[in-house]
Structure 1
């Protein structure tokens, strides 16, 4: 018999850590060898099964086999029963249809025949009668649903006046996959009808591309010409002052136009300093013009101002800038760099006399021909206008090709584009520089696939994103103005026709809003000088 303190079986920490380290090292070694082994092995662990030494192995295997056999028999029985019910259901439906045709003139006999048939079916197979009744009701519901849907489509087409479908026969829903074009058109028309003043927001880089003459005519004709419309030239910090001044002079021949900086530019954007045209100054001038119009109307209700325009031209940013000048919250309307942020009608109250209506941006219909080449070019144009969300851009390469064509007309702008990506001189392959440009951009930005192959799709998306955020400089020049003068005759002197009427409308509306500053004082003199 041992006497004394028993010896502990605990392992020292030093030895335990040594065992853990050696075990981890052995596992790492095994993993490395497994990676080098070319033999394929499944990651799912194999079922070890029942050990041979287990005393009841034969009994357990017999039970498993019996369960599998019973399961297969039950499945076969259910399949056979479903087949018989389907055949009986079709037979019952044929009998009922024949009975209804034969007894159509006699209602009493028809009811008795139906009751007898149903009783007979209930006795043989009650599920067949239930199945036949359900099929008949489903067919009747589908017919009614189709009829109601066709009626609603006809009403929508008559209401929207053709804005829901393009002239080439393609529906406008193909432009926006995530939402209904007709729903957006309906909201847009609601905004125009409910507004006293319509602010048509244009992109300063391409005002003519984001402008629709049909929309202008529609606003002018609404409510007997009582509505007022103002062009808002947004994103003015992305164009130089001379170009902005030229566009203001050109647009003010049609409608009163105000420049606006609604929000701060994106990071690393190439901007221009317009000195007095700041975010605060331009938004305050627009707010004063709207307040002046509201006071001149002397209405007991508030004046509603609708905001319309293409997607991603900054409609919600205009509302946020006006709300911020009134001391409101900065996020009155959600905004984003991508198109399609605003999807429904939104009303923002500035004060007791002004309410702003924000509408989702839609691509207004144009009269371009519906050929395949024109469709591709139109899609590329919409991508450059930021009217298509990035998720819906199937092929951004045509948009980059169109961008290079536009910038190649100006050597300075094309040189700045090459400088943005720090590219070497581009090579012309069969008169095409787009492929070489995208290859160089993919290498510079690391847009490479397997084996170092340049991913042209990813590189083109990166270029489109840089263009959207203003990192690539580019703009369009206003068209040259040609005065249309009607030739004089013996009975009538020479007149300027519609030009004179539009000039008169611009002067009257400008007086109602009292547009001052922001190159508004010398507007009339500049327009007169350009037209004479």
Structure 2
């Protein structure tokens, strides 16, 4: 008689897994040893045949041989019938071509000349008629395909013609990206503008005018009966000195309310400027409070949508990440990168119940003031300096470096800092060109050398563009000079053809809606809007 609690026969899961692993290891080892075994045999079993001791072996072999002979005779008979009926098949094929196929005479002549060899061997080839019919129908299909291609829309023909012209001039890569993605990105951009209540136009602090488009401003002002609000966000302010930042803020506030912003940390070894109170946290809080004030003043049941637009790589996604991290949310909500083209589709980020952000892909907006005067090469170089072109799509970065040297040469201080950054001696001018000598010196300093120690100018130019993109090379543009009209002037006031309505009243009204009056003094929000720009 058993006494006590019976013992369970269950095996622990740990032990069962251990046994399974050991079994799998043993099987792997056995397979390896089987491969190394010289007496290895295939798993596919061969037919052993008929044993010699089988009493009816001869009879079975005779039957197999008889079946093989009958099969050969049947194949020979079919070949003779096909050869005999070849003439009738050719006549039928010709009738089908004349009655059914609507081919041009030139196509038939080309078809006959191309297939003379195949038609001569009709007596020995029973498939000639079928082949001729198939080729004729293929020619008919090609003819119809050409007719369909001729009936393309005029818009598509113009687009393809533009691509061909760009390819001939050697600017195919950027042109194809700009034109092929332009339609899709324009749809997203228009969707952002149509659905947004407030539009944040992000500008690069190093070149605000280069990343600004008057046509875009007019479209936003005219959309939805002029009920939308447009705010300039001057990003990457840590790459320009405080005096230049103040000048740009005063200039831009003549057109729209402008907020300075530091959306992200600078790149490693970047030359930055200290703006004291204008930190990442402080500027993002000011922007959030301004948007929150506008949302509360509207008192809508739905949330206010804030659209973010701008050139590629100006920091639109970084603005969203700065606002979300300021609220204690998760960082990296919107993907960012040092290269252009990270954001490729519309992205909606919810800040709270009253605010939603719409992140859009960067678009090179039309700029009539730049595009009408600059050549294609100059415009391409300008876009490269604006970081609007990904590095993999830059065919020749030398014109961009040339443009950068010309801009920095206007300021002796900035040009000397560039030479000190690369530790270069004075440059030599060859036929009025210093770019080549500059790239040669940079290639030698940075080790961008090819076979035999020949400087790789393309790699050196890419290095300069990368250093400029990451802020290691200091450089910026100054705001245009503004002429102030005298108050006692009796001349008629010029009619503004750009923005809708009185710009002075618009800036004051919008600054009050976002409560921007007390941030930079009494009249800083308007920025002396009485002195309108004339450049």
> TM-score over 0.5 for the alignment?
yes
Partner SS state of residue 177, structure 2: coil
Instruction: After superposition, give the CA deviation of every residue in 1:375-407 in whole Å (9 maximum; x if it has no partner).
Output: 111111111010111011111111111101110
Q: Please give the residue correspondences for 1:252-401 in structure 2 after superposition, counting only pairs within 5 Å.
A: 252-367=253-368, 374-401=375-402
Partner SS state of residue 267, structure 1: coil
Counterparts of 2:226 and 2:353, CA distance in 1: 25
Indicate whether 1:150 and 2:128 are aligned: no
The alpha-carbon distance between structure 1 residues 336 and 517, as it changes in their structure 2 partners (threshold 3 A), is: farther
CA contact (8 A) 1:485 1:497 kept: no
Aligned to 1:471: 472
The alpha-carbon distance between structure 1 residues 488 and 412, as it changes in their structure 2 partners (threshold 3 A), is: closer
Counterparts of 1:90 and 1:325, CA distance in 2: 81
CA contact (8 A) 2:517 2:525 kept: no
Aligned to 1:97: 101
Aligned to 1:111: none
Partner SS state of residue 464, structure 1: helix
Counterparts of 1:191 and 1:172, CA distance in 2: 27
Unmatched 5+ stretches in structure 2: 1-82, 104-126, 160-164
Partner SS state of residue 387, structure 1: coil
The alpha-carbon distance between structure 1 residues 304 and 136, as it changes in their structure 2 partners (threshold 3 A), is: farther
The alpha-carbon distance between structure 1 residues 393 and 372, as it changes in their structure 2 partners (threshold 3 A), is: farther
Instruction: After superposition, give the CA deviation of every residue in 1:365-384 in whole Å (9 maximum; x if it has no partner).
Output: 23379899711111111110
Aligned to 1:523: 524
Aligned to 2:228: 227
- C-alpha displacement of 1:187: 1.1
Q: Please give the residue correspondences for 1:428-439 in structure 2 after superposition, counting only pairs within 5 Å.
A: 428-439=429-440
Partner SS state of residue 223, structure 1: helix
- C-alpha displacement of 1:186: 1.3
Counterparts of 2:454 and 2:92, CA distance in 1: 63
CA contact (8 A) 2:254 2:527 kept: no
Counterparts of 1:178 and 1:336, CA distance in 2: 23
CA contact (8 A) 2:346 2:360 kept: yes
The alpha-carbon distance between structure 1 residues 172 and 193, as it changes in their structure 2 partners (threshold 3 A), is: farther
Counterparts of 1:90 and 1:238, CA distance in 2: 79
Counterparts of 2:505 and 2:90, CA distance in 1: 78
Counterparts of 1:90 and 1:350, CA distance in 2: 75
Q: What is the TM-score of this pair, normalised by structure 1?
A: 0.69
Partner SS state of residue 349, structure 1: strand
Instruction: After superposition, give the CA deviation of every residue in 1:135-162 in whole Å (9 maximum; x if it has no partner).
Output: 7678768866886x638859x9xxxxxx
Counterparts of 1:289 and 1:139, CA distance in 2: 64
Aligned to 2:112: none
Counterparts of 2:334 and 2:510, CA distance in 1: 28
Counterparts of 1:245 and 1:213, CA distance in 2: 22
- C-alpha displacement of 1:323: 1.4
Instruction: After superposition, give the CA deviation of every residue in 1:264-311 in whole Å (9 maximum; x if it has no partner).
Output: 000000000000000011011111111111111111111111111111
More displaced stretch, 421-430 vs 477-486: 477-486
Q: What is the TM-score of this pair, normalised by structure 2?
A: 0.69
The alpha-carbon distance between structure 1 residues 342 and 419, as it changes in their structure 2 partners (threshold 3 A), is: same
The alpha-carbon distance between structure 1 residues 463 and 303, as it changes in their structure 2 partners (threshold 3 A), is: same
Counterparts of 1:369 and 1:469, CA distance in 2: 24
- C-alpha displacement of 1:470: 0.1
Partner SS state of residue 176, structure 1: helix
The alpha-carbon distance between structure 1 residues 340 and 87, as it changes in their structure 2 partners (threshold 3 A), is: farther
Give RMSD over aligned pairs.
3.9
Instruction: After superposition, give the CA deviation of every residue in 1:425-453 in whole Å (9 maximum; x if it has no partner).
Output: 21122222111111110000000011101
More displaced stretch, 300-309 vs 138-147: 138-147
Counterparts of 1:240 and 1:337, CA distance in 2: 22
Aligned to 2:38: none
Aligned length: 416
Counterparts of 1:87 and 1:477, CA distance in 2: 85
CA contact (8 A) 1:487 1:495 kept: no
- C-alpha displacement of 1:95: 3.0
Aligned to 1:446: 447
Partner SS state of residue 201, structure 2: strand
- C-alpha displacement of 1:495: 4.7
The alpha-carbon distance between structure 1 residues 172 and 482, as it changes in their structure 2 partners (threshold 3 A), is: farther
